[in-house]
Amino acid sequence: MSQLPYSKTELMICVAARLFEDGTTCFIGTGIPMLAAMLASKTTAPNIVPVFEFGGTGAMLEELPLAVGEARTFHKGVSALGICDTMETAQRGFIDYGFLGGAQIDPYGNLNSVVIGEHDSPKARLPGSGGGNDVGSHCWRTIAIMQHDARRFVPKVDFVTTPGYLTGPGAREAAGLPRGTGPMAVVSTLALMDYDPETCRMRLKALHPGTSIDEVKANTGFELIIPEQVTVNDPPSEEELRLLREEIDRQRFYI
């Protein structure tokens, strides 16, 4: 197999960046979502309003933030307030998209970032919800960005930290979560997924170039809906790669 001119992580960031809708408010989680937001703001969505949980709103993303509270999250921003303001803004319906990650995801888009194993005697204690639960509860649409393998794409997450569609159609509203909210897409290292509107289950939407449906299936621990039409995502453009490597993550924290 010939060496691709880009890594799977770079491709994942590019596909995620193209999902940003210009002129919208976007809650940005730590890590890969920050790179995707930066790339989007330098390409197809120059007018997104990034919101960082500890209070930064509307920053110009000129340097990669390494923490959700650092000064780069309000660099030339429109406001630098506190966590209650940003979270209350989300809770009253002002935040269009939430971009986040997690250690596990299930067919309904529920995410786990608390424990592997039992909560009270865990095999692995993970960092915890942070703002993840809030982002998944209050943003209109959420987009998860994750490595794709069968340990992460599981039939049932060990702990539901961030609500996806919970147990299926109507479950979010029945639990009291805001009407009309929920996961929109998953961008992985292998493909782009969305959700079947009837069943709320994850569905393959577009393969990354060089990936096969069989490869995606083999790396997914549950039955993924495979529609008749599956498109292929464009590979990273030269400009996207240049921005990622020379401007966004010069120090190679992520790529």
Site mask for another protein (CB under 8 A), range 103-132, x = bound: -------x---x----x--xxxxxxxxxxx
Catalytic residue among 10, 21, 53, 62: 53
Could you say whether residue 175 binds another protein (CB under 8 A)?
yes
Beta strands in 97-252 (DSSP E): 97-100, 104-105, 111-112, 115-117, 122-125, 141-146, 182-188, 191-195, 202-207, 231-232
Could you say whether residue 29 binds another protein (CB under 8 A)?
no
Could you say whether residue 49 binds another protein (CB under 8 A)?
no
d(CA 18, CA 228): 23
C-beta of residue 164 within 8 angstroms of C-beta of residue 137? no
Instruction: Tell me the CA distances in angstroms from 86 to 7, 156, 232, 252, one per residue in order.
Output: 34, 31, 36, 29
DSSP, collapsed to helix, strand or coil, labels residue 28 as strand
Question: Measuring CA to CA, which residue among 179, 175, 184 is closest to residue 144?
Answer: 184
> Is residue 198 annotated as part of the catalytic site, yes or no?
no
Could you say whether residue 250 binds another protein (CB under 8 A)?
no
| Total residues in contact with another protein, by rule CB under 8 A | 57
With tokens 């002129």, the residue in question is 23
Could you say whether residue 163 binds another protein (CB under 8 A)?
yes
Could you say whether residue 62 binds another protein (CB under 8 A)?
no
| Pairing of the two strands 115-117 and 56-57 | unpaired
Could you say whether residue 149 binds another protein (CB under 8 A)?
no
Q: Which is nearer to another protein, 81 or 225 (CB)?
A: 81
Could you say whether residue 56 binds another protein (CB under 8 A)?
yes
Could you say whether residue 73 binds another protein (CB under 8 A)?
yes
Residues of the shown chain interacting with another protein in the complex, contacts defined by CB under 8 A: 30-31, 53-56, 66-76, 80-84, 87, 91, 110, 114, 119, 122-134, 137-138, 159-163, 166, 171-172, 174-178, 253-254
Question: Which residues are designated catalytic?
Answer: 53
